[in-house]
Chain A
Amino acid sequence: MNPTGTAAGRSEQATGPQRLAGRWLGAGLVAVAVAVVAGVMIGPVRLGPGPVIRELVQLRSGLSDTESTIVWQFRLPRVVLGLMVGAVLATGGGAYQATFRNPLADPYLLGVAGGAGFGATLVLVSDGAWSSPAMVPLGAFAGAIVAMALTYLLGRAANYGGATVSLVLAGVAVSAFFTAMQTYLQQRNQDDIRRVYSWILGRLSTSGWHDVALLAPYAVVSLAVLLAYRRRLDVLAVGDEEALSLGADPRRIRLVVVLAATLGTAAAVAVSGLIVFVGIIVPHLVRMMVGASARIVLPLSLLFGAAFLALTDLVARTILAPAELPIGVVTAFLGAPFFVLVLRSSHQRDR
C-alpha cells in the first residue's frame, strides 16, 4: 500500500469512519449566524440587518448611541445566553442518548432538570453565604447529580416494558418527587416566590452579560468534554461487553460523559430555568439528517441547538409583544408532539 499516494488517501476517505460533512457544518454555522442577526435585529426597536451586522463586526454601522446600547447591553447578551443554553442542552441531550443507548434520554425526562431545579431553589431560598447567585449553578449541579443517579438506578431495577421505557418512567417519578420538594420549598418561602416562579417557567433573563458570565465557564467545560469524548461514545453503541472486548472502559466513558452533560445542563437550568425538550428535538433531527454516530451528532447538535434556542427565544419574546411568553412554553409546544413521534419510532425498534 502506498501511504502517501492520493489514491490510497482517497480510499481511506471512502472506507474510514463517517465524517462530518462540510456542508452540514456550514449549515450549522449559517443557522447560528442567522439566529444572532435576527435576534439582535428584532424587538421593540427594529434595527436593519445591514447596520446590525456592521455593528457586530465593529465597523461603522450608522447606529445611534441608543441603538448601539440596545444591541450590546440588551439584545446581544440575551442572544448569546440563548446560544449557550441551547448548545448545552442539545449537546447534553445527544450525549445522554448515546450513553444510555436511548433516544428518549433527555435532561428533563431523566429527572436531571428536576433535581437541578430543587438544588437551585434550595440555594435561592437559603440565607447567608449560600444564597449568592454564583452558588446557584453548584446547587443545581448537586441536585442534578443526585436525581440522575436515582433515575438510573430505579430504571435499571424496574425494567418495565424495556430499558427505554423504564428509564423514562423512572425519570418521570424522580422528576415529580424533586418538583414536589421544590414546590414545597418555594411555597414556604413566600418572599422569594416571584423570583423562583419566573425561573421555573424558563426564561432567558435580561440581566445583561451577568448570566452569560455565570454560565460560560460551565458551558465551556461541559461542551469541551463532550466534544472530546464524542468518538469514544460510538463504542458504547455496541453494548458494554463488546466495548470492553474492544479495549474500551464503558463505565468510565459513561461516568465522564454523564458528569459533563449533567454539569452543563444543571448550569443552564440554574441560569435559564426549565426549558424542556430541546435535548430531544435537536439531536433527533440531526440523527435523521446524518445518522446516529455520536462523533457527528454532537458537534451538529451544538450548532443547531444554539441556533434553535436563540430563534425560539425570539418567538417567545415577540409573539405576544409587549408581553413575553416563557421560552419553556414555546419549546414544550414544539417538543411534546415531537416526543410522541420519537416514542413511536423507538418503541417499534425496541420490539
Chain B
Amino acid sequence: MRTPTSVPPDGGGAAAVVLRDVSVRLGGRSVLRHVTTTVPAGCWMTVVGANGAGKSTLLRAVMGLVAHEGSVSVHGTPSSALSPRERARRLALVPQTPVLAPGMTVGTYVLLGRMAHMGPFARESSTDLRAVTGVLQRLGATELAPRQLTTLSGGEAQRVVIARALAQHAPVLLLDEPTGSLDIGHQLEVLDLVEELRHEVGLTVLCTMHDLTLAGQYADQMLLLADGEVAAFGTPAEVLTEATLSKHYRATVRVLHDGDRLIVVPIRSRVGHCGTAHEAPADQEDT
C-alpha cells in the first residue's frame, strides 16, 4: 500500500472534515438539522442513530452528493469550492448499497477508483494499475480480479467495494453501513481491515453503523443523530449509555461492561401471548 497522495499538510491532529450548521432538506422534509461537528485527522468517527435519523444523508452531504445549507470543509477547503474530481481525491465513499454492474470484472471495477487521477479519456497509467494491484493484494483479493461482480459473495463484494475506495488514495474514507449485509465473521474482518489500514496509511474514517456494540469497539468518537439533529457526541462510553440509547432508539436497552468494552443489548419489553417469550426485536435494516 502506498500512502495517500494528499495527506493533510499540517499532519495529524488537524481537522480532516468540519461540518458547520449543516442542514439538508429532501423532498420537503428536513432530514439533517444544524449539524456541527469536527472529525480530526486520523480519527475514526462513527455516526449512529435510528432509521431515518439522517446518517446516510450526513455522509452524502460530506461527499457533495446532496444539496445542503451550512458548510462542509475538507482539510480546510470548503467542499463547495471543490470539483467532483478534487473531492474524489480527498474523500472516498463506500456506499451502503453499491451498484454491482452486471458483466463488469472486479479489475475494471476497482480501476474506477482511479477515475479522479486519470486524464480526460480515462486511459489508465502504470501508476493506476499499480494502485489497483496493490490494493487487491493488500485486501487478499488478487484472485478475484478476473471474476464478474455479480458472481461475488456478499463478503467478497464488500471487500471489492472497499478496494475501489482505497484505490482512490484519498485520506478520508466514508463508510455507509459497511457491515450491513455481512455475517458476524465478515463484519469483524471488514472492520479490522479498515482499522489496520487506518494506521498503515493514516486514514480518517467517518462511518455509519447500526450495530452499537460493534460501533463502540471500533470508534474513537461517536455521534448520535436523532431526527436529523446531534443528540449526543463523545467517546463510545459517553454516548452508549442506557438512558441516551433508550430515549433515542425508543427501545429498552441494557449496556453491559466487559472490561473496557460496552455491549449493547436490546431488551424485549412485552412478553408474547401463550407465555412463550420470543426473541428480542433485532435491529432493523436501514432504508
Contacts and interface: CB of A to CB of B under 8 A. Distances in A.
Interface of A: 1, 3, 8, 11-12, 14-18, 228-229, 231-232, 234-235, 237-239, 241-242, 244-249, 287, 291-293, 295, 349
A15 B133 contact: yes
Interface string B127-165: 001101110110000100110100000000000000010
Q: How large is the interface on B (under 10, 10 to 19, 20 to 34, 35 or more residues)?
A: 35 or more
Contacts of A249: 84
Given A242-B95, A291-B105, A16 B111 contact: yes
A291 B199 CA distance: 38
A18 B115 contact: no
A229 B121 contact: yes
B146 A228 contact: no
Interface string B82-98: 00111111011101001
B277 interface: no
A30 B89 CA distance: 43
A298 to B, nearest CB: 13
B99 A237 contact: yes
18 contacts: A1-B134, A11-B137, A12-B130, A14-B142, A15-B129, A15-B137, A16-B107, A17-B111, A18-B108, A234-B108, A237-B99, A237-B104, A245-B63, A245-B84, A245-B87, A247-B168, A292-B104, A349-B102
Given A1-B130, A228-B121, A247-B87, A18 B99 contact: no
A291 B65 contact: no
State the main secondary structure of chain B at its contact with A.
Answer: helix
B208 to A, nearest CB: 15
B187 to A, nearest CB: 23
A265 B112 CA distance: 29
Contact of B89 (A8, A247, A248, A291): A247
A17 B106 CA distance: 8
Contacts of A229: 121
A224 to B, nearest CB: 11
A255 to B, nearest CB: 14
A17 B101 contact: no
B88 A238 contact: no
A244 B95 contact: no
Given A15-B133, A242-B95, A248-B84, A291 B115 contact: no
Best-surrounded residue of A14, A229, A237, A245 (most CB of chain B within 10 A):
A245
Contacts of A17: 105, 107-108, 111, 124, 132
Contacts of B110: 15
A16 B133 CA distance: 7
B103 A234 contact: no
Contacts of A239: 99
B95 A245 contact: yes
B202 interface: no
B284 interface: no
B116 A246 contact: yes
B22 to A, nearest CB: 18
B129 A292 contact: no
Contact of A245 (B88, B101, B109, B132): B88
Given A14-B142, A15-B136, A245-B65, A231 B122 contact: yes
B113 interface: yes
